[in-house]
Amino acid sequence: MSQANKHPWHMVAPSPWPIVGTISAFVLAVGGVLYMHEDIPWILAAGFALLLFTFFGWWRDVVREAEHDAAHTNVVQQGLRVGVVLFIASEVMFFFAFFWAYFNASVPAISFAAQTQWPPADIVPLDTWTIPFLNTLILLTSGATVTYAHHAVREGHRDKAIVGIGLTVLLGAIFLGFQIFEYGHATFGFTDGIYASSFYMATGFHGFHVFVGVCFLSVCFFRARAGHFTPRQHVGFEASAWYWHFVDVVWLFLFCAVYWWGSFGL
């Protein structure tokens, strides 16, 4: 063990976080069932708290592996990039299911069970060119700022990278604030038919992904301030930038299909 490694691979040390994460997911699932059926919120809250504790501990260890243990060699970084690409591909399939449900309910050529009128007669859709369009501009701008930050990191401009990441986090938070405002002023609820259900499922899960991206980039913001990212080693920020671009692209599809095309009617 006293000899230096003669290979570029990362031999992962035993970690408590996989089992702790499994337990937290089980507690979260049981808590969700009890909350929905028995209105008992405490187990659900405990599951969330344990899950957040798992995230913090596991990510802390990964950062230590990169910064202090020098475990993220070029070969390991390449493997991490492949893992991020596969994760984003799985997310594409996740949203594909929501889009399929939306079009299956709205396009007669896809399903004979499609609605004869879309949106249904009792639904007043949101105005495409108000908050949805503003949020589109916000997300497109955030894609530019995160790209600016990525180029700054690759060129070794730490201060510019911090500014770019900070602006991206701010724009993401503004997007979420507008989406919450939009939900509060919608004329239909989650249970008001297939249009409402598919609308809230697709846009709501996208909003959750924006929230995850804001958290991801917030961690990168503090890591950038601590000097963790260099032109040769910044795979953590690179993963967050790719994830944010994925969130941007999904929103463009949502805006065109759900807000714009969906408001025309059949």
Domain boundaries, the chain: 1-71, 73-263
Amino acid at 18: P
* Residues of the chain under the 50 pLDDT cut: 1-2, 266
**Backbone phi, then psi, for 42, in 5-degree steps?**
-70, -40
Predicted pLDDT of residue 67: 87
Token digits for 205?
A: 């899960």
Predicted pLDDT of residue 191: 87
Nearest partner of 214 among 168, 177, 150, judged by Cα: 168
Beta carbons of 178 and 135 less than 8 angstroms apart: yes
Q: What does the DSSP 8-state code read for residue 50? A: H
**What is the separation of C-alpha 225 from the centre of its chain, rounded to a whole number of angstroms?**
23
Q: For tokens 């060119």, what's the residue? A: 129
* 3-state SS assignment for residue 229: coil
Beta carbons of 224 and 130 less than 8 angstroms apart: no
Cis peptide before 8, with omega less than 30 degrees from 0? no
Predicted pLDDT of residue 1: 44
| DSSP helix, strand, coil percent of the chain (3-state; round to 5) | 75, 0, 25
Q: What does the DSSP 8-state code read for residue 180? A: H
Q: What does the DSSP 8-state code read for residue 84? A: H
**Pairwise CA distance, residues 257 & 212, whole Å:** 23
Token digits for 43?
A: 């187990």
**Pairwise CA distance, residues 100 & 198, whole Å:** 10
Predicted pLDDT of residue 119: 86
- Topology of domain 73-263 in CATH is Four Helix Bundle (Hemerythrin (Met), subunit A) (1.20.120)
- Angle value at C-alpha 263, between 258 and 266, nearest 5 degrees: 105
Predicted pLDDT of residue 4: 56
- Tell me which of 2.40.128.50, 3.60.15.10, 1.10.287.70, 1.10.1740.10 is the CATH number of domain 1-71: 1.10.287.70
Q: Where are the alpha helices (DSSP H) in the chain?
A: 17-38, 42-67, 74-106, 131-154, 158-184, 193-225, 235-254
- Angle value at C-alpha 57, between 32 and 67, nearest 5 degrees: 145
